[in-house]
C-alpha cells in the first residue's frame, strides 16, 4: 500500500497484497459513512460483502453502487441489538471470513444528564450489538478454521471527550472486548483487532450537529474540525483503508 499526501488529505494506492478475492465479509452499519466506505473498498478488492443495516434503504443503495462497479454485495435489514434477528441474518448469510462491527450511535450528555433510557439505548446498539454479532460469527469462524474480526472503537475509549459519557462508555467496552476476544480465540486462528478513529466527517456527523446545534452548524463544524491535530476531520475512505490494512495476512 502506497501513501500519498496532498492538500485534501492522504491518498492511497492499494497494492495486490490486499486482494480479498474469494473472501466474504459481514459489515454492520454499512449503509453510510465509515461502514459504506469499508464495504465499497472491500468489494473493490474482490470481497463479497454482506451489509447488515437498520436502514434497509441505505443498505440497498450501497449495494446498488457496489454492483454498478462490478462488485458483489447483499443487504439485510436487521437490528443488531436483537440477538434473534442477528442469528437469523447470519444463518441466512452462511460462511464468512471477515466480520466488521461498525454499527453504532452517538449521544451527548454527562453522567448526571444522561437518562437511563438513553444510556441503555447506546449500550444496546454499540455494545450488545457488537456482542450479538460476535456470538453469531465466532462459531462459523471456528468451524471454518479461522477468521478476522474488526471492531470499530473510538479515540473516546481512551481519551476523555466532553459531554460524551454514554458514547465513551460504549467504545471503551468495544476496546476491552477486542482484547478479550483476541486472546480467547488465538488457538482457533481467529484474529480480532479494533480501530479507534477521532472525528470523521460523515452524513451522521452532519445530522448530529444539525439536531443538537441548530443554527450553529457552521460554527460547531469548524470548532470540531480544528480540534483535530491535522486541522480537519478524517474521511471515511481513510478509515476504510486502515480497516483493509488490518486484514493483512487474512487466512
Answer yes or no: do 222 and 188 share one domain: no
Tell me whether residue 213 is one of the annotated catalytic residues. Answer: no
Q: φ and ψ at 175, to 5 degrees?
A: -60, -45
The pTM assigned to this predicted structure is 0.86
User: What distance in Å separates the CA atoms of residue 50 and residue 6, rounded to the nearest whole number?
Assistant: 33
Answer yes or no: do 186 and 219 share one domain: no
Answer yes or no: do 176 and 207 share one domain: no
- Quick: pLDDT tens for 10-20: 555 545 558 89
Question: What residues are paired with 53 via a beta bridge?
Answer: 77
- pLDDT value of residue 91: 98
- Quick: pLDDT tens for 83-138: 999 999 999 999 999 999 999 998 989 999 999 999 999 999 999 999 999 999 99
For the domain that residue 140 is a member of, what is the CATH number?
3.40.50.720
Is the CB of residue 127 less than 8 Å from the CB of residue 83?
no
Residue 40: is its pLDDT beyond 50? yes
Residue 138's closest CA among 78, 187, 190, 87? 190
Answer yes or no: do 147 and 34 share one domain: yes
Residue 211: is its pLDDT beyond 90? no
Answer yes or no: do 210 and 143 share one domain: no
User: Which residue in 76, 167, 175, 185 is the catalytic one?
Assistant: 167
Answer yes or no: do 25 and 131 share one domain: yes
Amino acid at each position: 500500500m502506497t501513501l500519498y499526501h496532498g492538500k485534501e488529505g492522504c491518498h492511497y494506492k492499494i497494492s495486490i497484497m490486499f486482494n480479498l478475492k474469494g473472501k466474504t465479509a459481514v459489515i454492520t452499519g454499512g449503509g453510510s459513512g465509515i461502514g459504506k466506505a469499508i464495504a465499497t473498498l472491500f468489494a473493490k478488492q474482490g470481497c463479497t460483502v454482506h451489509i447488515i443495516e437498520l436502514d434497509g434503504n441505505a443498505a440497498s443503495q450501497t449495494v446498488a453502487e457496489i454492483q454498478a462497479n462490478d462488485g458483489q454485495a447483499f443487504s439485510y435489514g436487521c437490528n443488531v441489538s436483537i440477538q434473534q434477528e442477528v442469528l437469523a441474518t447470519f444463518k441466512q448469510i452462511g460462511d464468512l471470513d471477515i466480520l466488521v462491527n461498525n454499527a453504532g450511535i452517538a449521544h451527548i450528555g454527562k453522567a448526571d444528564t444522561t437518562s437511563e433510557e438513553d444510556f441503555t439505548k447506546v449500550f444496546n446498539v454499540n455494545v450488545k450489538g457488537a456482542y450479538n454479532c460476535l456470538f453469531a460469527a465466532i462459531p462459523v469462524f471456528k468451524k471454518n478454521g479461522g477468521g478476522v474480526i474488526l471492531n470499530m472503537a473510538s479515540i473516546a475509549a481512551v481519551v476523555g471527550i466532553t459531554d460524551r459519557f454514554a458514547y465513551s462508555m460504549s467504545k471503551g467496552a468495544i476496546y476491552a472486548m477486542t482484547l478479550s476476544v483476541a486472546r480467547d480465540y488465538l488457538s482457533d486462528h481467529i484474529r480480532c483487532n479494533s480501530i479507534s478513529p477521532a472525528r470523521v466527517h460523515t452524513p451522521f456527523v452532519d445530522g448530529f450537529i444539525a439536531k443538537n446545534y441548530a443554527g450553529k452548524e457552521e460554527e460547531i463544524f469548524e470548532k470540531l474540525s480544528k480540534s483535530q491535530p491535522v486541522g480537519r476531520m478524517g474521511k471515511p475512505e481513510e478509515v476504510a483503508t486502515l480497516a483493509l490494512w488490518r486484514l493483512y495476512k487474512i487466512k
